[in-house]
Amino acid sequence: MSNYIKLLPDSVANQIAAGEVIQRPASAVKELLENAVDAGAKEVELIIKDAGKTTIQVIDNGCGMSAMDARMCFERHATSKISSADDLFAIRTMGFRGEALASIAAIAQVEMKTRPAEDEIGTCLQIEGSKVISQEPCQCSSGTNLIIKNLFFNVPARRNFLKSNTAETRHIIEEFIRVAVIQPSVAFSMIHNDKVVFKLPKGGLKSRIVGLFGTNYNEKLLPVEQRTEILTIKGFIGKPEYARKTRGEQYFFVNKRFIKHPYLHHAVNNAFAELIPVDSFPSYFLNIDIDPKEIDINIHPTKTEINFRDAKYVYAVMQAAVKQSIGKYSLTPTIDFEIDPAIELALGNLPKEGLKQPKIHFDPDYNPFKQERSEGFRSEIPIKKEKQDWKEFYQHHLPEEKNTRETEESEKAHDTGLDLIHEKERLKFFQIQNTFITSNVRSGLMVIDQHKAHERILYEYYFKKLKDASHGSQQMLFPQNIRLSPGDAEIVRELKSDLLKLGYMLDSVGKNGFVINGIPADLQENDSVVVLERIIENHKKHLKDINYDKSVNLARSMAVNLAVKTGTRLQEKEMAEIFDSLFACHAPETALDGSRTLAIIPLNDIEHYLKEKKK
């Protein structure tokens, strides 16, 4: 039998290998941009035509190549980045396989001009389907200028598989972003069919994100920074209120290499869990700087997975970093109150312990149609007293000169004859439809959803209680008995210490029974059993969630069950309580379901509306 195994000619082998590395124009763009960054370029320009199908050009001012290297770089496994297997664990460059240029040269017409800064004369090389057409000295700028023409010219099948220009351009832009966003110290530009798509000067990470994703990102971002002995996480996350319905801008990098990592993604999501709706996604741009020894980088060029030696550790640091960033920034109020800046400061500085639970006592006998009652209500709480309460609450935060400013202001008002809102009337609250609390703030009219706001307040209040050791409860006048199924009784036993922190004092009687001796301070005795049952139900419902956190869940149950309902009439004092307590919360603007607790109707809009001629 004759031998029938033959070695493939290099050109064919290269073409087959190229199919793995270069699948579409965007893959070539990625490889060229990464080479430019690896070459230490400070300026990189990407020029494409017809979604990269006819031309992809990358011009950089990096280290350039000698005549010899210019020829070598198109050989398979030719790389300057590693020389032994050990080097694989010390890689900080993007490339290291020495496959990209060989692959590109196998399936396209390539022209490269390159010159190291120290050489006077550069090299111009043309290569097509792995064959060198010409190589000669030439005049050129220092750095490398590489043009790829007619990608897949000799692999028509693959060319036919390319998608529409719009789709291929989208892929290219995505690759461009993945390289450019994390290299803000390098200026990047992208031109498509002679139109500038991006022009990104060098700067910081924030301005790079803004440059790529739009100026509205300026106010959307929160910085993240966390250092440990093993790694440093740095970057930005989107504020919870800007979370999106689609997986938008989610970028992880490890040593500035873009990666996808569902496990770490989960860590970030977890940190956001309480602040965004279930079906929306936070944005993030986070780089993990880590010793290459701690990761397995030997991934396929087109893939983006990476393995950490200790993924659990990275997960924990990531989650803590993001949580910290959210916590730190949601403490600073972003709303400009129509009050003294000193008070604003006090709001921001309120110690955590200052979180007090508002007591909502509504009058069940109230009849809104009874005229004299509603009038009585107004005189019942004189405005003067209102101010006193407010002052008492912030007394130790108010600076001395407060009074002078107050008189100055009223004098000014008097001077101009303007009806300036006087201090005592500034924090006046009105209720709309027994649902919303309104108050005027510097920039307009603030509208607070009473139910959502109270839920947020109670949630934080109970969450803190669960974390604290202390507990408080009110003795039941008539202790209640409750019988439960064996499963539910088991849950109550398991939650007993947490329930005690919430205020539930329970003692077992018989096999699956309990006697309720004490209940949370703000619970009506009549509701004690129902609320306990709901807590058990809610606990069961969420037990299987991977994100399950017992305290979060219990605090949520309490908040949902006890928050003042929509449609409940509130007294002005109660509204003030909600207002005060809300702004002492960590995340005053975020409702428990991730939506907003409040809105501000800007003064401008009101003015604009009133200026319009009636039709």
In the complex, the residues that contact ligand ADP under the rule CB under 6 A are: 31, 35-36, 38-39, 60, 62-65, 73, 78-81, 95-102, 144
Binding piece for Mg ion, criterion CB under 5 A, among 4-12, 33-41, 192-200, 306-314: 33-41
In 10 A of CB 394, how many CB atoms? 19
In the complex, minimum distance from the CB of residue 579 to ligand ADP, in angstroms, rounded to a whole number: 59
Residue closer to Mg ion by CB (options 95, 444) is 95
Q: Does 100 bind Mg ion (CB under 5 A)?
A: yes
Residue closer to ligand ADP by CB (options 253, 504) is 253
Distance between CA atoms of residues 325 and 321, nearest Å: 6
In the complex, minimum distance from the CB of residue 75 to ligand ADP, in angstroms, rounded to a whole number: 9
In the complex, minimum distance from the CB of residue 341 to ligand ADP, in angstroms, rounded to a whole number: 54
Cβ density class 28-46: b for 16+ within 10 Å, e for less: bbbbbbbbbbbbebebbbb
Distance between CA atoms of residues 597 and 330, nearest Å: 14
Query: Taking CB within 5 to 8 Å according to partner kind, which of Mg ion, ligand ADP, none is near residue 73?
Result: ligand ADP
Q: Does 35 bind Mg ion (CB under 5 A)?
A: yes
- DSSP run (H or E) holding 542: helix 528-542
In the complex, minimum distance from the CB of residue 29 to ligand ADP, in angstroms, rounded to a whole number: 13
Residues 6+ apart with CB under 8 A from 510: none
Q: How many residues contact Mg ion, by CB under 5 A?
A: 3
Residue closer to ligand ADP by CB (options 17, 355) is 17
Query: Taking CB within 5 to 8 Å according to partner kind, which of ligand ADP, Mg ion, none is near residue 98?
Result: ligand ADP
* β-sheet bridge partners, residue 235: 224, 286
Distance between CA atoms of residues 585 and 576, nearest Å: 14
Residue nearest to ligand ADP according to CB distances in the complex: 95
Q: Distances in Å between the alpha carbon of 415 and those of 402, 404, 422? A: 20, 16, 14
Query: Taking CB within 5 to 8 Å according to partner kind, which of Mg ion, ligand ADP, none is near residue 173?
Result: none
Residue closer to ligand ADP by CB (options 78, 603) is 78
Residue closer to ligand ADP by CB (options 106, 489) is 106
In the complex, minimum distance from the CB of residue 35 to ligand ADP, in angstroms, rounded to a whole number: 3
In the complex, minimum distance from the CB of residue 98 to ligand ADP, in angstroms, rounded to a whole number: 4
In the complex, minimum distance from the CB of residue 543 to ligand ADP, in angstroms, rounded to a whole number: 49
Residue closer to ligand ADP by CB (options 144, 553) is 144
In 10 A of CB 425, how many CB atoms? 12
247 CB burial (10 A radius; 0-12, 13-18, 19+): exposed
In the complex, minimum distance from the CB of residue 100 to Mg ion, in angstroms, rounded to a whole number: 4
Residue closer to Mg ion by CB (options 67, 100) is 100
Residue closer to ligand ADP by CB (options 112, 563) is 112
In the complex, minimum distance from the CB of residue 551 to ligand ADP, in angstroms, rounded to a whole number: 49
In the complex, minimum distance from the CB of residue 138 to ligand ADP, in angstroms, rounded to a whole number: 16
Distance between CA atoms of residues 305 and 263, nearest Å: 11
* β-sheet bridge partners, residue 45: 59, 189
Distance between CA atoms of residues 68 and 445, nearest Å: 71
In the complex, minimum distance from the CB of residue 21 to ligand ADP, in angstroms, rounded to a whole number: 9
The torsion angles phi and psi of 595, rounded to 5 degrees, stand at -80, -165
* β-sheet bridge partners, residue 444: 441, 602
- Name the H helices within 422-524: 423-426, 450-467, 486-502
Binding piece for Mg ion, criterion CB under 5 A, among 96-104, 110-118, 141-149, 403-411: 96-104
**Per the structure block, which two tokens stand in for 3?**
């031998």
Residue of the chain from 95, 235, 240, 282 that contacts Mg ion (CB under 5 A)? 95
* Strand residue runs (E) in 405-455: 430-432, 436-441, 444-449
Number of H-type helices and E-type strands within the chain = 20, 22
Query: Taking CB within 5 to 8 Å according to partner kind, which of Mg ion, ligand ADP, none is near residue 60?
Result: ligand ADP
The two most distant CA atoms of the chain are separated, in Å, by 113
| Residue 117 and residue 105 in contact, taking contact as beta carbons nearer than 8 Å | no
Query: Taking CB within 5 to 8 Å according to partner kind, which of Mg ion, ligand ADP, none is near residue 150?
Result: none
Three-class SS state of 131: strand
> What single DSSP character describes residue 121?
S
**Rounded (10°) CA dihedral 344, 389, 428, 378:** 180
Query: Taking CB within 5 to 8 Å according to partner kind, which of Mg ion, ligand ADP, none is near residue 81?
Result: ligand ADP
Residue closer to ligand ADP by CB (options 34, 274) is 34
Query: Taking CB within 5 to 8 Å according to partner kind, which of Mg ion, ligand ADP, none is near residue 191?
Result: none
Distance between CA atoms of residues 140 and 462, nearest Å: 69
* β-sheet bridge partners, residue 199: 189
Residue closer to Mg ion by CB (options 144, 581) is 144
| Residue 488 and residue 459 in contact, taking contact as beta carbons nearer than 8 Å | no
| Residue 470 and residue 476 in contact, taking contact as beta carbons nearer than 8 Å | no
Query: Taking CB within 5 to 8 Å according to partner kind, which of ligand ADP, Mg ion, none is near residue 573?
Result: none
Residue closer to ligand ADP by CB (options 38, 589) is 38
In the complex, minimum distance from the CB of residue 149 to ligand ADP, in angstroms, rounded to a whole number: 17
Tell me which residue of 278, 177, 307, 285 sits closest to 236, measured CA to CA: 285
Query: Taking CB within 5 to 8 Å according to partner kind, which of Mg ion, ligand ADP, none is near residue 96?
Result: ligand ADP
In the complex, minimum distance from the CB of residue 95 to ligand ADP, in angstroms, rounded to a whole number: 2
Query: Taking CB within 5 to 8 Å according to partner kind, which of Mg ion, ligand ADP, none is near residue 184?
Result: none
Residue closer to Mg ion by CB (options 35, 123) is 35
**Per the structure block, which two tokens stand in for 612?**
């319009």
Tell me which residue of 373, 355, 376, 356 sits closest to 365, measured CA to CA: 373
Binding piece for Mg ion, criterion CB under 5 A, among 35-43, 178-186, 512-520, 601-609: 35-43
Residue closer to Mg ion by CB (options 95, 520) is 95
Q: Does 62 bind Mg ion (CB under 5 A)?
A: no
- Count how many residues are written for the chain: 615
Query: Taking CB within 5 to 8 Å according to partner kind, which of ligand ADP, Mg ion, none is near residue 498?
Result: none
Residue nearest to Mg ion according to CB distances in the complex: 95
Residue closer to ligand ADP by CB (options 106, 286) is 106
**Residues forming the site for Mg ion (CB under 5 A):** 35, 95, 100
